[in-house]
Amino acid sequence: MKIPLSNPDITKKERDAVLEVLKTPNLALGPKLKEFEKNMAKFAGRKHAIATNSGTSGLHLAIKALGVKKGDEVITSPFSFISSANCALFEEAKPIFVDIDPKTLNIDVLKIEKSITKKTKAMVIVDIFGHPVDWNPILKIAKKYKLKIIEDSCEAIGAEYKGKKCGSFGDISTFAFYPNKQMTTGEGGIILTDDQKIANYCQALTNQGRKVENGQWLNHSYLGYNYRMSDINAALGIAQLSRIKEILGKRDRVAKLYNKKLKDIEGITLPYVAPYAKISWFVYVIQVQVARDRDKIMNELRRQGISCSNYFQCIHLQPLYKKMFGYKRGDFPIAERISDKTIALPFYSNLTEKQIDYVVKKLKECL
């Protein structure tokens, strides 16, 4: 049996939506883009949405729109996909890492204030693996120190914190739609905000710096980027969003099956869900209790046709960050300890119980 790590949930509805766009002259900057942005804003409970060609592009524009510049410091987590730290480097600011909570794997809110300095301008707060961060204390810290919040919910569409949707907490928030995400546009992301000026600025920057309020075709007011999402991608996103409740339900079913079948196996730790959280399952990540066995287990699972991966490698131990900032092992011990033990098992909407049983059986054998 060959089981991929992820697999997008694409139906006839998505294929038909894309084909309809291909029958028109509006492959980019057309009506589907605006429709997708409107639908996403409504879903997240925000006033404005600006689609981008990736979640990384969205994070970059969020940093830029909030005025983060050279010499500023941006607090974030070392246990995340690298974009949540790189977005600060794009504007020559410095990411300041804060270690994580060992249960939720999100940034440890109790350690944030110790890392705030006069140079701190903003925080990039990640809802890791679709699990919401503990937002109330984060918001209090931001208010106390007058810090801007970029909510990196790129892995958390549909997640909720105490009944409120992720994507609605930051000054600017972001979702991402890579094919392994809960919903996909192929490649793509989106910026969400309630601030009209921020929305206008980000809209201009996605399209080579053309101001929204200026109707002239080639009139560039800012140094912008080609961060646009095409109407082809947007049409796929519209169809996926219309099925988001179904998709999230399928993923929840898969997670519950894993939980049930793995709960009595010694030698592993299952994903934790806090009482305040409604998780949106992005990946299913277990931890082995003996770190030195992790890579052996993954290699054997792969040999048995089961795709798996370590999620995530710590950002501060990536070659770029070690070279730039001199980070070393021991700087953020909890993130490092967790990172050394993680295995992401195959996880996607249409994973069958038969496939899950095969994964569980082979994992038991490996252990």
- Neighbour-count burial of 143, counting CB atoms closer than 10 A to its CB (0-12 exposed, 13-18 middle, 19+ buried): exposed
Fold of the CATH domain 12-99+106-242: Aspartate Aminotransferase; domain 2 (3.40.640)
Q: pLDDT > 70: what percent of the chain?
A: 99
pLDDT per position as a tens digit, 83-92:
999 999 999 9
The domains spanning 12-99+106-242 and 245-366 adopt the same CATH topology: no
pLDDT per position as a tens digit, 318-350:
999 999 999 999 999 999 999 999 999 999 999
Taking the C-alpha atoms of residue 316 and residue 311, their distance in angstroms, rounded to an integer, is 14
Q: Tell me, what amino acid is at 67? A: G
- Note the pLDDT of residue 218: 84
- Note the pLDDT of residue 330: 98
DSSP helix/strand/coil, 127: coil
Retrieve residue 41's tokens: 């804003």
Taking the C-alpha atoms of residue 72 and residue 315, their distance in angstroms, rounded to an integer, is 19
According to DSSP, the β-strands at 172-176 and 48-52 are: unpaired
- Neighbour-count burial of 286, counting CB atoms closer than 10 A to its CB (0-12 exposed, 13-18 middle, 19+ buried): buried
Residues facing residue 161 across a β-bridge: 164, 277
Retrieve residue 132's tokens: 């919401």
* Average pLDDT of span 123-129: 98
Q: Is the pLDDT of residue 229 over 80?
A: yes
- Note the pLDDT of residue 213: 67
Taking the C-alpha atoms of residue 322 and residue 248, their distance in angstroms, rounded to an integer, is 37
DSSP helix/strand/coil, 306: strand
User: Which residue stretches of 66-195 are H helix?
Assistant: 83-89, 135-145
- Do 185 and 233 meet the contact criterion of CB atoms below 8 Å apart? yes
pTM for the model stands at: 0.97
Q: Tally Cβ neighbours within 10 Å of residue 261.
A: 17
Residues facing residue 278 across a β-bridge: 160
Fold of the CATH domain 245-366: Aspartate Aminotransferase, domain 1 (3.90.1150)
* Average pLDDT of span 309-323: 97
Q: Where are the chain's structural domains?
A: 12-99+106-242, 245-366
Q: Is the pLDDT of residue 133 over 70?
A: yes
Angle at 51 between CA 50 and CA 55, to 5 degrees: 110
